[in-house]
Amino acid sequence: STLSCSSLPQNNTPPAPSSPSTASGRIGEVKRVTKETNVWVKINLDGTGVANSSTSIPFLDHMLDQLASHGLFDVHVKATGDIHIDDHHTNEDALLQSLGDRKGINRFGDFSAPLDEALIHVSLDLSGRPHLSYDLNIPTARVGTYDTQLAGKNSHHIIEATFKAFARALRQATEYDPRRLGTIP
């Protein structure tokens, strides 16, 4: 079967460098050090899909590679300690910082990603009003050393398809639409 989304914008051209919102690029960088963790995250929304992740969790490193590759973001993560406790906050902070004032972005992203028997659908709204809903039935408690306590039968496929769909939807939502420059959607 095929999926067609003809109404989604395909423009991935950022505005001219003279635009105040992109003069320094859309890059977010955050470092968080606690007694238990040391986490550094850098995200370039206008990257080429380069990933350099070292979290001590091989499966998470693999998923961050998928996020970079499929979203065409440059994603750099260095994490040590009990990163399973607080690493997601640092990732969120870096993404928010890279979005800046959000002027000119599409705001919405929507993508479905198949991986063998798993099919995952992600819809995003980068309006700034946080909300998460998900219905992932991951059949195993772990994939390698990665905790999966979060449709398909293979846990690895479900999680990987989720990262791929999220990356593509995020790319759509963060792309510039030249008709929106100067406005926050």
- Please tell me the total count of domains within the chain: 2
108: amino acid identity, one letter = F
Out of 73, 100, 127, pick the residue that ends a domain.
100
CATH number at 58 reads: 3.30.230.40
Q: Which residues of the chain fall short of a pLDDT of 70?
A: 1-24, 83-94, 140-154
Residue 102's pLDDT is what? 86
Residue 14's pLDDT is what? 45
Q: Are residues 88 and 108 in the same domain?
A: no
Residue 147 C-beta-side C-alpha neighbours within 13 Å: 5
The three-state DSSP-derived secondary structure of 92-143 is HHHHHHHHCCCCCECCEEEEEEEECCEEEEEEEECCCCCCCCCCCCCCCCEE
Residue 53's pLDDT is what? 92
Residue 12 resides in a domain? no
- 178 within 8 A of 13, measured Cβ to Cβ: yes
Q: Are residues 142 and 84 in the same domain?
A: no
Residue 78 resides in a domain? yes
Q: Are residues 109 and 178 in the same domain?
A: yes
Percent of the chain with pLDDT over 70: 71
Separation CA 159–CA 131 (nearest Å): 20
Domain housing 59? 26-100
Out of 100, 123, 146, pick the residue that ends a domain.
100
* Angle of the 155-174 helix axis to the 58-71 helix axis, nearest 10: 40
